[in-house]
């Protein structure tokens, strides 16, 4: 039986609960197309924590700061892009009958996947770009219509903010 190899102690570039193991597990799940909510749970963090880290990373990056949060955002975005590009490459191979190189054997082969499955995965996982677009109309003041235009990512952030506000109110003992 092999002994578990212990890695040398190295200071983590990640802040707080953002350990190398958490980031690695998160990226591992995202790398196969798992939704962020489930990837966060797999990594051992809440979805709200994941969204906060992404938001902080974006703020730091926009401020020109190189922090653990901005590095986290860069790594997560790279993993998500790799999944999307991989699925699109596979879809193109299927659609145009192109050969591809098998990553395990190094041999050329025709893809055997199902184009509909890849289209479904893209539309569900990357709905902001590949999903069906919907317009929702609500009545505004005096019965006038309003148009609400929000990306999937913006909706997730707004829902996370609302959940955070609700939790704060509950902690303060306020009833809604």
Chain segment 82-136, per-residue pLDDT in tens: 888 888 877 777 777 677 777 678 788 776 667 777 777 778 777 777 777 766 6
Class of domain 20-133 (CATH, top level)? mainly alpha
pLDDT (mean) for 60-67: 92
Residue 152: pLDDT over 90: no
pLDDT of res. 120: 79
List the structure tokens of 111.
């893809």
Buried-exposed string 56-92: b where 16+ CB fall within 10 A, e elsewhere:
bbeebbeeeeebbbbbbbebbeebbeebbeebeebbe
Average pLDDT, the chain: 80
pLDDT of res. 51: 94
Q: Where are the domains of the chain?
A: 20-133, 134-176
pLDDT (mean) for 19-43: 93
pLDDT of res. 92: 76
- Does this model's pTM top 0.85? no
String of DSSP letters for 5-66:
PPPPP---SS-TT--HHHHHHHHHHHTTT--HHHHHHHHTS-HHHHHHHHHHHHHHHHTT--
Chain segment 2-18, per-residue pLDDT in tens: 444 443 344 555 557 88
Using a pLDDT cut of 90, give the percent of the chain over it.
31
Residue 30 binned pLDDT confidence (cut-offs 50, 70, 90)? very high
pLDDT (mean) for 129-158: 73
pLDDT (mean) for 10-38: 82
């Amino acid at each position: 039986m092999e002994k578990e190899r212990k890695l040398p102690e190295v200071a983590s570039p990640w802040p707080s609960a953002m350990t190398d193991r958490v980031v690695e597990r998160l990226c591992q799940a995202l790398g196969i197309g798992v939704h962020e909510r489930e990837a966060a749970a797999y990594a051992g963090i809440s979805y709200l924590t994941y969204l906060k880290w992404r938001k902080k990373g974006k703020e730091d990056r926009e401020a020109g700061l190189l922090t653990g949060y901005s590095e986290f955002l860069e790594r997560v975005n790279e993993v998500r892009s790799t999944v999307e590009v991989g699925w699109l490459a596979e879809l193109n191979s299927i659609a145009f009958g192109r050969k591809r190189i098998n990553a395990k054997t190094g041999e050329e082969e025709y893809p055997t996947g199902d184009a509909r499955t890849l289209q479904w995965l893209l539309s569900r996982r990357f709905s902001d770009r590949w999903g069906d677009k919907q317009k929702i109309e609500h009545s505004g003041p005096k019965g006038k219509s309003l148009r609400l235009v929000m990306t999937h990512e913006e909706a997730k952030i707004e829902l996370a903010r609302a959940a955070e506000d609700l939790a704060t109110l509950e902690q303060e003992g306020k009833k809604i």
